[in-house]
Amino acid sequence: MREKKLVLLADDDIDLVETMKIVLEAEGYEILAAYDTVSAFNKLKSEKPDVMVLDVMFGPSGKTNGLELVSKIRQDSSIAGTPILMITSVNLKLPVFDALPEMDGIKLPSDGTEKAGTDEIFTLDVPAYLPVDGFINKPAQPDELAEKVKALLAQKVSKWAGWKKK
């Protein structure tokens, strides 16, 4: 058992990671950082952090690689239970039809997939179907970040642990 809780910060914005690190270290957590999807996944597997804070737009600008990573994590049984707090700067309620094709494996409601290609899909409330445990909007406020990480640590296991790719 680790003495301190371990939080993985996965964001390609180094400055933001440093800032979040200060906030969370002040809360008494140990911090691990990953600046790209590959190392985020590897650190997740080797270090088994208690919570992961993940950026939606992780990687090249305009790409929503964070969503793909979520799907990959949930399908790997050794880390599928990691609670994930997702950082967003895009409005996920009405987004981003550009993001949807990359949400391969993200479970959409059955009527949504049926009507793919019509307007219906654009009005989906995406967050309700993303297998993550919480959201935090940019700019991340220190108190809010600390509070949400604390809640996920108390939760211990992601509510999406048994999530299967459709």
Q: Which stretch binds other proteins (CB under 8 A): 2-10, 72-80, 117-125, 126-134?
A: 117-125
Site for other proteins in 34-53 (CB under 8 A): none
DSSP string, the chain: --SS-EEEEE-S-HHHHHHHHHHHHHTT-EEEEESSHHHHHHHHHHH--SEEEEESS-SSTT--HHHHHHHHHHT-TTTTT--EEEEESS-SSS--TTTGGG-TT----HHHHHTBTBGGGGG--GGGGS--SEEEESSPPHHHHHHHHHHHHHH-S-TTTT----
Site for other proteins in 145-164 (CB under 8 A): none
Give the residue, chosen from 90, 151, 153, 161, that forms a contact with other proteins under the rule CB under 8 A: 90
How many residues bind other proteins (CB under 8 A)? The answer is 30
Asked if 97 interacts with other proteins (CB under 8 A), we say yes
CB closer to other proteins, 46 vs 60: 60
Asked if 113 interacts with other proteins (CB under 8 A), we say no
CB closer to other proteins, 78 vs 123: 123
